[in-house]
């Protein structure tokens, strides 16, 4: 039962020559051993008995294959074309296509078998496929009778169903009884949809290496496959990501079809790997060709791919019966797919007539590369050369030069060895540092691939996620060529700016707030040690001398040639700068005060130039927040009056602990509501800049939730369900608590938030719980999210905004004389940040001067100062420390 041609058998020896005499692929041994196909237990099947038709939902219904054609004919005779939904036709057509594809492979692998049971099984499969084809033909004939309805066109080979087709494929089969009520019906539909299925992504065959100057080519989709995904269960309502269900029988209900099922499990596992690999590689190509994607985005989705490989392995192992989970080992899967059965998408007949060299090249490109064989061989070769618990060193002058543009098997193997040798040497060093306690267990933003290689060096055993990750990592090096240094150069610029900013904005010095001192100090040290300095250089120099190497190590050699880690560190620095900047400005009301002064002047004079950082800051708030509503005043007087309400709790006795806040930005007494970009940034900050042990599934669930919520918010705005804008919403003020004792501002927040109608809310909830994310869907969602963050909220420099705001407040205080600044200091008992009280004091002055020339003078002074200040904000911002008296 081999699909290998004589050319492949010759090629096997060539492949093994790459591994050396001590390593070879382990072939499956006797049946029933761990890691082999399980034996088929004898099962006694009785003859099916007819089941009486009943409407009792507690009784199980079944239809025999022999009855399907009769049933289909009755439908055709009694139904109208409109009774047959296009979704049902598409699903049935897809089922037929998948069964034919599976039968084609399985029958080809068993064509030489003399087992009568195998032959009978093949005949049964052929019969079932024939029945389904005839049923499909009858239904399509009925649909074609409709005069105004275009027949559903047959899909192209390997095409996938739409997500909506599988959201609830049984929705059209409901049978209602007299006892059913509307409430019960709604509940049952929701329950069914909560257990909806999801399909896995299809794979795309990877096509060789990239040649510099060559035109970017599209990759054809090959062997697209679908697998069911089921929800994690009703006991986990917070889960937004479904687990994979391969539909494989357990030992207790094993049947004759399970051999094909196990093969398809392994095959589809590699299909998903290659789909992920192709997607990520194409995104790196986008950068190499036209710089159309950020290096930070590429690093994050690449590390997410590394994490996804682990999740795919977990899903695979969980679906295997416990005695046979050894089948998930890479060695076993390689044996089964490469040496025994072959790959379903490869046309082996086309190998006939090729020379040995041509056959070897075809097999390398079509099969070995698709199975990540070369990376498995490279890991085996590295383990032979690196003894346990040893850290190898090589003089810089003796490193093999990296030759790009490999286009045959031997050149690629040489290229892969050259780029991975330093990676393994560095990982051995990292492992030793961690073991000796001189480095944290997980380094800042350390990629999953690094941790995998360190585990391999420790256990001396490889795993498929590490092999897949290394294969993708080598692809990236082949794509980037000498541009591989770009992420490091970008990291150095970001880290230098962050260090200088943190040093010039110390909360302990500026606000007398010491709760953030430890995090400020730790972040500065991290930036210096891991980003601006080579933390390995001194110990490497010592080790070189110990082994007799007189050369000095090259500073940052590894980081300059490691685009993924350098990109993740750069993204970490950007997240830290944004998150810590947001915390910083919330320690005082100065930025909000400057925002209200600017918008008050803008209400009086719309010709005032734009303030870029303030515009971005305003966009971080929801439209229905008190902060956002307050800025919508139709006059300068109204905007200043609104600020009096918003600022009311900043320095009151009840909120005197405001300066002790050391957590992430949160709504203040329900008054400040940020949009979901802030929530997403916090999730990314937690994963990539704070908690290095956070799992992929945790933060991708949070991101999915927020993205779906953003979709809902957009629907609210599109349907005019957002709150009434502007000052009218703030008219419930000044008089204090309402008659029922509630804070009027709290009631306002509840009022403007509103609620969606019940049906729309239900639909959105279903979309959330049934969000069908294939691996590619996850990466695309993460890709879009990181890009929107980098183009959006991460371009807002909170520290720059703070400096600009304080400068404006100081200019306003100077324009109105020392008395205004003195009143502000008294108003907040001399606490730092007292300049934030200026808009409130000016609002009081305007109120007292209503209808007089003094009112106009106050407003005009604000306009003049703001216009002059904003006009100066065109140059480069230089971080500076603001001194307080």
**Mind listing the pLDDT tens digit for each residue in 555-614?**
999 999 999 999 999 999 999 999 999 999 988 889 999 999 999 999 999 999 999 999
Highest mean pLDDT among 291-300, 587-596, 719-728 belongs to: 291-300
Task: State the pLDDT at residue 254.
Answer: 43
Q: Report the C-alpha gap between 508 and 341 in whole angstroms.
A: 67
Q: Which of 66-70, 200-204, 363-367, 737-741 has the lowest mean pLDDT?
A: 200-204
Is position 630 within any domain?
yes
Q: State the greatest distance between any 2 C-alpha atoms of the chain, in Å, as a whole number.
A: 107
Q: How far apart are CA 98 and CA 160, in angstroms?
A: 11
Q: Would the pLDDT of 756 be above 90? A: no
| pTM tops 0.85 | no
Q: Residue 684 has what pLDDT? A: 92
Q: Which domain holds residue 601?
A: 586-674+722-755+796-871
* Count of CB atoms situated within 10 Å of the CB of 549: 18
Rounded distance between C-alpha atoms, residue 314 and residue 200, angstroms:
15
Question: What is the pLDDT, as a whole number, of residue 229?
Answer: 32
CB 129 within 8 A of CB 103: yes
Six-digit token string for 2:
């081999």
Minimum mean pLDDT among 63-67, 362-366, 745-749: which range?
745-749
Q: For residue 280, give both structure tokens.
A: 């990520």
Is residue 728 a part of any domain in this protein?
yes
Three-class secondary structure of residue 204 per DSSP: strand
Between CA 784 and CA 792, with CA 788 as vertex, the angle to 5 degrees is 180
106 falls in which pLDDT band (50, 70, 90)? low
Measure the CA–CA gap between 475 and 373, rounded to whole angstroms: 13
**How much is the pLDDT for 633?**
83
What is the rounded average pLDDT of the residues 132-150? 79
Residue, of 154 and 747, whose pLDDT is higher? 154
Nearest Cα to 553, choosing from 391, 392, 393? Answer: 393
Give the dihedral sign, CA 239/243/245/251. negative
Average pLDDT, rounded, for the chain:
74
**Model confidence band, residue 400 (pLDDT cutoffs 50, 70, 90):** confident
At residue 678, does pLDDT exceed 60? Answer: yes
Domain count, the chain: 1
User: Higher model confidence: residue 510 or residue 412?
Assistant: 412
pLDDT digits (tens, 9 = 90+) for 555-570: 999 999 999 999 999 9
Asked, for residue 68, whether it belongs to a domain, the answer is no
158: which DSSP letter? T
Contacting residues for 13 by C-beta, under 8 A, at least 6 apart: none
The model's pLDDT over 798-813, given as tens digits with 9 standing for 90+, comes to: 999 999 999 999 999 9
- CA pair distance 656, 672, nearest whole angstrom: 17
Strands (E), 192-251: 197-199, 228-230, 243-244
pLDDT of 698? 76
Is residue 687 domain-resident? Answer: no
340 pLDDT band, cuts 50/70/90, is: confident
The pLDDT of residue 374 is: 93
Name which of 80-94, 460-474, 765-779 the model is least confident about: 765-779
Task: Give the separation between CA 129 and CA 555, rounded to whole angstroms.
Answer: 64
| Percentage with pLDDT > 70 across the chain | 66
Q: pLDDT at residue 124 above 70?
A: yes
Burial class (CB in 10 A: 0-12, 13-18, 19+), 709: middle
pLDDT of 659 above 60: no
Among candidates 844, 840, 868, which has minimal Cα distance to 854?
Answer: 844
pLDDT at 855 over 50: yes
Q: How many CA atoms lie within 13 A of 560 on its CB side?
A: 7
Predicted pLDDT of residue 63: 67
Residue 775: the pLDDT is: 86
Q: Is the pLDDT of residue 259 over 70?
A: no
- Residue 846 covered by a domain: yes
Band the pLDDT of 736: cuts 50, 70, 90: very low
Helices 448-459 and 295-318: angle between axes, nearest 10 degrees? 50
- Rounded mean pLDDT, 138-146: 81
> What's the CA gap between 254 and 265, in Å, rounded?
15
Burial of 734: CB neighbours in 10 Å, binned 0-12, 13-18, 19+: exposed
Alpha-carbon gap, residue 309 to 882, rounded angstroms: 49
Rg (CA), the chain: 33
Residue 325 lies in a domain: no
Does pLDDT of 304 surpass 80?
yes
> Residue 355: phi, psi to the nearest 5?
-70, 170
Q: How far apart are CA 343 and CA 105, in angstroms?
A: 9
Confidence (pLDDT) at 875: 53
Is the separation of the CB atoms in 51 and 67 below 8 Å?
A: no
Residue 276 in tokens: 């992920």
| C-alpha span between 621 and 619 (Å, rounded) | 5
Cα–Cα distance for residue pair 462/410, rounded to 1 Å: 23
CA triple 871-874-879, angle to 5 deg: 115
**Mapping DSSP to helix (H, G, I), strand (E, B) and coil, where does residue 355 land?**
coil
Residue 83 has pLDDT above 70, yes or no: yes
Segment 157-187, tens digit of pLDDT:
434 445 445 445 455 554 444 444 444 344 4
597: tokens are 């002064």
- Render pLDDT for 203-219 as a digit per residue (tens, 0 to 9): 333 333 343 333 333 33
Residue 533 lies in a domain: no
For 168, other C-beta atoms within 10 Å of its C-beta total 17
Instruction: Say if 598 falls within a structural domain.
Output: yes
Residue bearing tokens 């685009």: 563
DSSP-derived pairing of the beta strands 243-244 and 197-199: unpaired
Cβ atoms of residues 335 and 26 within 8 Å = yes
Q: What Å distances lie between residue 720 and 717, 724, 763, CA to CA?
A: 5, 9, 18
Residues in the chain: 885
Lowest-pLDDT choice from 43-57, 527-541, 628-642: 43-57
Nearest 5°: CA angle at 842, between 839 and 844? 115
């Amino acid at each position: 039962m081999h699909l290998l041609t004589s050319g492949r058998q010759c090629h096997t020896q060539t492949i093994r020559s790459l591994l050396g005499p001590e390593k070879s692929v382990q072939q499956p041994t006797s049946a029933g051993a761990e890691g082999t196909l399980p034996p088929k237990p004898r099962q006694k099947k009785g003859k099916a008995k007819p089941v009486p038709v009943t409407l009792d939902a507690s009784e199980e219904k079944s239809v025999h294959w022999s009855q399907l054609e009769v049933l289909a004919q009755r439908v055709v005779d009694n139904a109208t074309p409109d009774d047959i939904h296009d979704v049902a036709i598409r699903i049935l057509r897809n089922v037929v296509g998948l069964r034919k594809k599976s039968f084609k492979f399985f029958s080809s692998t068993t064509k030489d078998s003399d087992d009568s049971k195998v032959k009978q099984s093949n005949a049964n499969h052929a019969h079932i496929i024939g029945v389904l084809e005839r049923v499909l033909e009858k239904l399509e004939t009925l649909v074609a009778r409709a005069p105004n309805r275009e027949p559903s066109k047959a899909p192209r080979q390997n095409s996938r169903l739409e997500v909506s087709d599988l959201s609830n494929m049984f929705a059209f089969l409901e049978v209602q009884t007299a006892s059913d009520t509307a409430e019960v019906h709604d509940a049952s539909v929701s329950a069914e949809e909560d257990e909806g299925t999801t399909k896995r992504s299809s794979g795309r065959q990877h096509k060789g290496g990239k040649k510099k100057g060559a035109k970017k080519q599209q990759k054809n989709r090959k062997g697209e496959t679908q697998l069911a995904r089921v929800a994690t269960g009703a006991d986990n309502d917070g889960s937004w990501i479904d687990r994979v269900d391969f539909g494989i029988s357990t030992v207790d209900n094993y049947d004759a079809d399970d051999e094909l099922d196990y093969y398809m499990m392994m095959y589809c596992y590699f299909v998903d790997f290659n789909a992920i690999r192709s997607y990520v590689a194409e995104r790196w190509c986008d950068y190499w060709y036209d710089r159309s994607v950020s290096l930070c985005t590429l690093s994050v989705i690449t590390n997410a791919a590394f994490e996804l490989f682990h999740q795919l392995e977990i899903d695979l192992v969980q679906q295997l019966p416990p005695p046979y989970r050894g089948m998930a080992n890479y060695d076993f899967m390689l044996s089964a797919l490469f040496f025994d059965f072959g790959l379903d998408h490869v046309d082996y007949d086309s190998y006939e007539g090729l020379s040995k060299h041509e056959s070897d090249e075809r097999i390398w490109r079509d099969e070995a590369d698709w199975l990540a064989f070369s990376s498995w061989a490279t890991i085996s070769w590295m383990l032979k050369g690196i003894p346990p618990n040893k850290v190898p060193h090589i003089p810089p002058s003796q490193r093999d030069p990296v030759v790009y543009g490999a286009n045959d098997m031997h050149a690629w193997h040489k290229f892969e060895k050259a780029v991975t040798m330093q990676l393994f040497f560095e990982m051995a060093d990292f492992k030793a540092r961690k073991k000796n306690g001189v480095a944290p267990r997980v380094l800042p933003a350390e990629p999953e691939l690094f941790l995998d290689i360190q585990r391999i060096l420790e256990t001396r055993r490889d795993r498929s996620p590490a092999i897949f990750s290394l294969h993708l990592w080598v692809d990236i090096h082949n794509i980037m060529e000498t541009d591989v240094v770009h992420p490091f150069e970008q990291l150095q610029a970001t880290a230098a700016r962050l260090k200088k900013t943190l040093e010039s904005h110390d909360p302990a010095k500026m606000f007398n707030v010491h709760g953030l001192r430890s995090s400020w100090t730790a972040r500065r040290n991290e930036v210096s040690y891991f980003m601006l300095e080579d933390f390995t250089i001194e110990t490497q120099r010592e080790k070189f001398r110990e082994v007799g190497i007189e050369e000095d190590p090259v500073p940052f050699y590894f980081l300059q040639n490691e685009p993924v880690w350098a990109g993740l560190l750069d993204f970490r620095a950007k997240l830290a700068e944004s998150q810590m900047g947001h915390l910083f400005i919330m320690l005082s009301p100065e930025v909000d005060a400057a925002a209200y002064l600017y918008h008050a002047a803008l209400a009086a004079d719309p010709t005032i130039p734009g303030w870029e950082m303030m515009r971005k800051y305003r966009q971080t708030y929801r439209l229905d927040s008190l902060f956002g509503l307050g800025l919508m005043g139709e006059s300068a007087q109204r905007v200043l009056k609104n600020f009096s309400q918003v600022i009311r709790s900043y320095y009151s006795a009840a909120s005197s602990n405001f300066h002790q806040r050391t957590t992430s930005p949160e709504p203040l007494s329900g008054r400040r509501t940020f949009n979901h970009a802030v929530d997403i940034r916090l999730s990314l900050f937690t994963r990539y800049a704070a908690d290095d042990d956070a799992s992929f599934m945790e933060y991708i669930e949070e991101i999915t939730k927020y993205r779906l919520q953003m979709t809902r918010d957009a629907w609210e705005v599109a349907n005019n369900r957002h709150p009434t804008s502007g000052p009218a919403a703030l008219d419930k003020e000044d008089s204090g608590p309402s008659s029922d004792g509630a804070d009027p501002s709290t009631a306002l927040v509840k009022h403007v938030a509103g609620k969606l109608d019940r049906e729309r809310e239900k639909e959105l909830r279903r979309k959330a719980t049934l969000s069908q994310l294939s691996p590619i869907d996850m990466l695309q969602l993460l890709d879009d999210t990181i890009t929107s963050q980098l183009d959006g909220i991460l371009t807002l420099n909170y520290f720059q905004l703070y400096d600009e705001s304080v400068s404006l407040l100081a200019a306003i205080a100077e324009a109105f004389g020392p008395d205004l600044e003195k009143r502000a200091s008294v108003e907040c008992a001399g606490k730092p940040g007292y300049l934030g009280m200026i808009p409130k004091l000016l609002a009081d002055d305007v109120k007292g001067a209503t209808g007089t020339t003094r009112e106009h003078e106050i407003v005009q002074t604000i306009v003049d100062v703001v216009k002059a200040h904003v006009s100066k904000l065109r140059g480069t911002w230089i971080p500076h420390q603001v001194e307080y008296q």
